[in-house]
Amino acid sequence: MAKALTKQHISLLFSLYTTQFLGLAFFTEALIAILRKNGMPLEHLGLVYMLGLFWVLRFLWAPFIDKIEFKNLGHYRGWIIIFQSLMVIVLFYTSLFDIFSNRQMVIILSVLFAFFSASQDIALDALVMKSVSHSQLPTANAIKSAGGMIGMVLGGGFGLIIYSSYGWKYTMIALSIATAISLIQILFYIEPKRKKENIQDKIDYKQYIDFWKGSKRKKWLLLLFVYPLTISSAYGLITPILVDAHWGLDKIGFAVHIVGYGIGVLASFTASWLITKYGRKNILVVAAIGQIFGMLLLLLLLSQYNSSFIAMIVVGLIFSFYTPSSVVMTTLMMDEASTKSPASQFAIQHSFSMFSGVLFTSLAVSLSGVFGYTTIIISSALLGLLAVYFSTNVDDIVTTKVDVNSHNEKNIATQLDIQY
């Protein structure tokens, strides 16, 4: 049964959402800088970002997580314990290999970690939808956003600094220990029981076809695809631009992944207040415009004005606009998902959004090697106007009302005309 967020619940969610990104941030952020510093071409670096494909494809195994329940461990809690444990094991095992002499093994292990991290997120998002009241979903998603950003700061920022000072082995050990903290916390958490009518009785893939039926759902699909375009391109370009500007790895780690992302984390804590005060639609529109502005500011990093201060401001602004919109989008996804198969129906929506993110991150980096940074930055900013357009019509796109103060506890996934 859904209930209000407690301090213990908030601490657990914050910890789990943070640690799922620790290793992933290191593999997709710090590893990019390390490999670029050692001469890997941009065209090849774009492939590293494809680790995010597991987050795109996770809807394929989400129905199994909805269906298979561990009676003694709890349904989604059991899955979280399993995947969190595997994440810790992989990170520790990776410390046994050298990044340069065993690059292939490191890549294989990073792929495994990406799979376990994406799977942990499936179960964790479902646990949120199951255990948190609908009126507090924006708060829970603000925790999700802030936790993810802090995971990026710690994994991509501090991870890069630790690597610069102590090397690969001790960096991976430190990441594995930090990830184990959440594992201890979830062991002491008791998952609320589900109502019998909300238990998935079979593994259902047909729901993925039924879910997108109707003109509104098709427009919602387009919004999920275009909204991450600009921010994802910016995210992919920042580190290679600074490496090519001859920044040191420790300087990149501090200026971008700690201070810059830290500004984004602060924006996460104000997201719920902003959404309550100005409404979800307004936040989506303003954030989409802000992301275009932030994208264009990357041009400063290519100029003579490229300094630590400028880099921190640019990255901070980009993520200041991203985090509130992320909270709105994930809340809308959860509103659209069924209580009977929350893992599956949230995953199918989030997968399309993640597919867009992975695609445009990879394309931005790879195509910059062909057409240059300036061309890709301007092109991505112009394409961002699509997100602005769809955001202004969000009321006519989603099947729920966008700006409401309370929600019916019964979910609306299969009731497209429900009124609050």
CATH code: domain of residue 330: 1.20.1250.20
Nearest CA among 301, 319, 288 for reference residue 392: 288
pLDDT, one tens digit per residue, over 113-133 is 999 999 999 999 999 988 888
**418 is a domain residue:** no
Going by C-alpha positions, the residue among 180, 202, 194, 198 that lies closest to residue 71 is 194
Outline where DSSP puts E strands in 108-223: none
List pLDDT tens digits, range 20-72.
989 988 887 777 778 777 777 766 666 666 677 788 888 899 999 988 888 78
Residue 234 within a domain: yes
Whether the Cβ atoms of residue 236 and residue 318 lie closer than 8 Å to each other: no
34 domain-assigned: yes
Of the pLDDT bands very low, low, confident and very high (cuts 50, 70, 90), residue 328 is confident
Is 412 part of any domain? no
Query: Which amino acid belongs to residue 28?
Result: T
**pLDDT tens-digit readout, 4-25:** 678 888 899 999 999 998 998 8
For the chain, the domain total comes to 1
H or E element in which residue 46 lies:
helix 42-48
Q: Which helix (H) or strand (E) holds 1?
A: none
* Closest of 266, 365, 263 to residue 29, by C-alpha: 365
Total-model pTM:
0.76
In angstroms, rounded to a whole number, what is the distance separating the alpha carbons of residues 238 and 310? 12
Predicted local distance difference test score (pLDDT) of residue 406: 36
Q: What is the pLDDT of residue 412?
A: 28
The C-alpha atoms of residue 58 and residue 44 are separated, in whole angstroms, by: 24
Residue 332 in domain: yes
Identify the CA nearest to 322 among candidates 263, 379, 375.
Answer: 263
How many angstroms separate the CA atoms of 420 and 413, rounded? 14
Kindly tell me if the per-residue pLDDT of 134 is higher than 90. no
- The answer to whether position 178 is within a domain reads yes
Instruction: Please state the φ and ψ torsions of residue 132, each to the nearest 5 degrees.
Output: -115, 135
Maximum pairwise Cα distance, the chain: 63
| Distance in angstroms (rounded) separating the CA atoms of residues 46 and 360 | 10
Does the residue 257 lie in any domain? Answer: yes
What would the DSSP string read from start to end of 322-356?
HHHHHHHHHHHHHHHS-SSSHHHHHHHHHHHHHHH
Predicted confidence (pLDDT) per residue in 195-252, tens digit? 655 555 677 788 888 888 888 888 999 999 999 999 889 988 988 888 888 888 778 8
Q: Please, are residues 406 and 390 in contact by the beta-carbon 8 Å criterion?
A: no
Domain presence at residue 408: no
Residue 185 sits in which domain range? 7-192+209-396
Give the C-alpha separation, 153 to 253, whole Å: 8
pLDDT tens digits along 164-200: 889 889 999 999 999 999 999 999 888 887 665 555 5
Q: What is the DSSP letter of 100?
A: T
Percentage of the chain beyond pLDDT 90 is 30
